[in-house]
Structure 1
C-alpha cells in the first residue's frame, strides 16, 4: 500500500519501535530495581532474625518473666511472617526461587522445636539453649546467602541490561543520524543544489526520484515545476520576440504616421501635398507605383492629382476616370480598402494595368467622415496581400491626407474671406475719407472753371488755395491708409507697436505724443492687438484732422479688462452735433473694428476741453 512507503510512516514506525524499547527498558529496570530493593530489605529482616534469636536466648538465660519471653517469641514469628508474605509498601519481599523456598522451609522447621522448647514451663539449661541457638543461626545465614546470591544475579542482569541499553542508545543515535541523512538531509541537499541551478537559469535541471515517499513526491513536483518553467520560458521567449516584433512594427507605423503628418502639415499647395504623399506611400508600402486621385462629386469622376513611378502612358490615359468603369476609382457607395487582383488583359477594367505589367492593386479611399474625397492606388507587379495592421495604417494615412486637403481648402477660403473683408474695409475707408476729399476737389475745380470763364481773378486765388489744401489732405489720408494697412504686431507685448505708431504720428503731424502704461495683464492675441492698433490710429487721424491740438496722450491700463484712452488738448466738439454730422465718419469705423473683437468705444468731448476716445476690451 502507498502509505507503507511514505517517509512519515517509516519515521513513525521507527519512533514507535524506539518508544517501545524505551518503555520496555524502563519497565525492566524498574522491576529489577524493585526486586533488588525488596531483596535488600529481606536480607536486613533475615539478619534481624539472628539478633532476635540471641536476644530471646539472653532473655531466657536472664530468667525474664514469661510475658517478656512471649514478646520476644512474637517478634520472631512476625519477622518470619514478614519474610513469608512480604510488604509491598516498603518494599520488602524475598526474591523467591526453589533454593530460597527450601531454605525458608528449613528455617521454619528449625524454629518450631525452639518455639516449643521456649514456650514450655520446664525450660532447657543454659548450655542446651546456647547449643540450640547456635544450631538455628546457620539456617538464617543460609537463607540470607540464598537471597544475596539471587540479588547478585539480579544486579548482574541489571548491569548487563544497562550495557545493552547503552549500546542500543548509541546504535539508535547512529541509526537516526544515518536515516536522517539518507531520507532527509541528502534529498534536501539535492533539492537545494537543483534550486541553485534553476536560479542560475538552467530550467533543464531534474531531480532523480529514488523512492515513492514524500521527498519522492517533492522531487516529482520539482521536476514538473522545472519542466513547466522551461516550457513557459521558451514560450515566453517566443512571445517576447513576437511582442518585440509587434512593438517594432507599431513603432515603425507610428514613425511613419508622424513623418507623413509632419509632411502634410508643412505642405502649402495641393500639388506639393499630393506628390510628396505619393512618394512616401510608395516607400512605406513597397509598391511599384502609386497614384493619388481626387474625386469630383459633381461629375462622378476621379482626377489624377499626382503619381510616383507610374508609367507616363498609364498616367495620361487614366488622368480622368469615371467612377466604377475601372479598377481604380471605386464608386463612393462601395468604396473600401481592398486588394484587387489583376488577372485578365481582356478585362476593360484592368487592361491598362495588365499592359503596364501590374499583377495586383490596393485601393485606399480618401475618406473625410462620410465623404469620399479621393483615392490612393498602390500598384504591384507581384501578388500581394493586405494585413489588418496595414489596412489600418493605410486608412489612417488616407485620413490624414483628407484632413490636410480639407485644411488647404479651408485656408484658401479663409484667405479669400480675409481678402474680401480687407477690400470691403478699404473701400469703406476710401469712401469715407479720400472719396469725400476728391468730391470736394471736384467742386472746387468746377468753381475754378467758372471763375476762369468769368475772368474773375480775385475769386480764383482762394479756390486754388482750397485745391492745394484739399490735395495735401488727400495725400495725408493716403499715407495714413498705407500706414494703417501695413501695421503688424511681432510680439506678445503691444507696447512696442504703440510706441512705433505714436512715433510715426509725431513725424507726420508734428504733434507731441505721450504714452502712459499702468498695471499688468495677460498679453493680448495678435488679431486683437491688430484691431486695437487700427482703432488707435483712427483716433489719432481724427485728432490730426479735426482737433486742432498741440499734444496727444495715449493711456493704457493693463489688467483683466484692457483699456486704451486717446486724449488730446484740442478744441473738442459737441457729441450730439457730431453724431448728426457726416464729417466725423472715423467714429463709425472705430466702432466697427471694436465690434470685431468684442470691445466697446466711448467718446467724451466738450467744446474747448479736448476729446477722449476710450477703447475698453471685454474681460
Structure 2
C-alpha cells in the first residue's frame, strides 16, 4: 500500500523516524554503558591479582630463613591464608564477571580459566609449600597471562566505547540526513508551491484573470492549487458574466436611447409634416437596424374594410402590396414565430405590426404559386435552415416588447393624425365648396333661370306674332338653340352644384364612389361595377374629391353619349410603383373620328383634375367596343 503523499503523513513519518532513532540510540548507548559498567572493575580485579602475586613473592622472599620462618610461623601462615583467600575471592569475581551474558567471549573466558588453573594447580601449592624460588619462577608466566587478560579486557572495553560512539555517529548522521531530506522536501513540496501560489495571487491581483497555478507536492497543496484555480475560474466566469451583463445593459440602454431618438425625431416630424409611406418605410427600416435580431413588417389596412389591398412595409426596406384574397393566407401572418401588434388609436384600426426572428427572413412567392389577375406579389416566409426555439423567440420579442409597443403607439398616433388632418381638410374643403355652391346658386343659377324664363317668354311672343318676315324662322331657330344652351348650362350648373355639395364624412370615400356610380347608373340605365382597392387613408381630401369628380364626369359623359349597357369602375394600386390607376370603361359606341368639344367639355374637366393630382389622363377605345378613361397618379402619401 503506497504511503499517502500528504504533509501530515510525511511529517509524522519524519517525526517518528527521528524519535525511533533517538530512542534506539539512547537504548543502545544505555545497553553498552550497562554492559561496560563492570569492565573497569574486572580490569582492576585482574590488576589486583597481579599485585597479589607480587605480594606473595615478597612475602616468601622476606621469610626465606628457616629461623625467621619458624619464629613467625604462626603469623606467616595466617598471612598466607589471607593471601590465598584474597586470591580466591579475586578469581571468583573475575570468573563471575566473565560469566555474564554481556561478557560472553571464549578467548577471554579460556584465558581466565588458565589463570585460575595456574593459581590453583601451581602457585597456590608452591605458596603453601613456601617455595619462594619455585613460586617466583611460576609467577612470571602467570603474571604475563594476567597482563594478557587485562589487555583483552581493556581492548573489549575500548571496542564497546567505539561501538557506542559509532552508533551515536550513525544515529546523528541519520538524523541529519532525515532533517536534510525534510528540509529539501519542505522546500520542494511546501515552500515552492507556496511561492508559486503567492506569485499566482499577485498576478491575479494585478488583473490577469487567466492566471492558473499548477502545484506539485503534497496532496494538500495540490488540492489548494485546484481550489485556487477553481476560485479564479469562478471569479473569471463571474467577471465575464458581469461584463456581459454590463455590455448587455449598455447595449439595451444604447438601443433604448436609439429607439427614443428615432421615435422622438419621428414625433417631431409629425408636428410639422404629414406622415407618408416613405417616412413610414424609413422608420421601419431604421427601427429594424436598431434591433437587428428581429424582422418587422408594417401592414397598413383600412379599418373594418375587407376589400382593400394592404401595404406591407418591411424593415429590410422592402415594400409589397397584399391583395384581399391572399392577405389572410400570408405566411408571415400565419407563421408560428410571428407576433402581431395592432396599430389602432381609440376606435380606429389602421393595420398591425408583425414581428418575427431575423433568421426567418422574407422571400418572394415561388413560381408554382397560382396566378391570378387580382393577386399582387405576396410576402412569404423563407424555409428555415434550422429549427428555432419557440422559447428563444418569445424571450427575444418579450425583451423588445416595450420598444415595439412604443413604435406601434407612435405609428397609431401618426395614422390617426393623418386621418384627423384629412378630415379637417375635408371639412375646410367642403365648407369652401358649399360656399361656392351657394354663391353659384344665388347668382349664376338665378341668372340662368331668369334668362331661361325670358327666352321662354320671347319664344311665346314670337309664336303669337303674325309676321311673314323670312328672318322669323332664323330668329326662332336661334331662340331654340339659345334655349338648349341655357338648358345644358343649367344642367351642368346643377351637376357642378351637386359636385360642390359632395360630402365625405370619415371614411366614406368608398361609399361616395359607389353612390356616384349608382346615381349615374340610374340616370343612364346601365349596369355599373365598382372595385376600389385603395385605402382612403392613403388619399388626401383633395385627392379623394378629384378622383370622385373624374369618375362623375366620366359617368356623366357615358350617360349622355355612350349608350352603354355595362360600365366598370376600377381604382387600385400599380404593383412595384407608388402610382394608383383609376379606370372607367364602358361597352358603348366608343370614340368617333371627331367629336363635338361643346358636348365633351367634361373631358377637359377630367384632364384638369388629373393634372391637379400630378398625374395624367388618357382616353382610348375599349375592346371590342366602348371607351376607356384612365387616370394614373401618385398619392402624396407615397411621396411625402
| TM-score of Structure 1 vs Structure 2, range by shorter chain | 0.3 to 0.5
Length-normalised TM-score, structure 1: 0.41
Structure of greater relative contact order (alpha carbons < 8 Å, 6+ residues apart): 2
Q: With structure 2 as the length reference, what TM-score do the two structures score?
A: 0.40
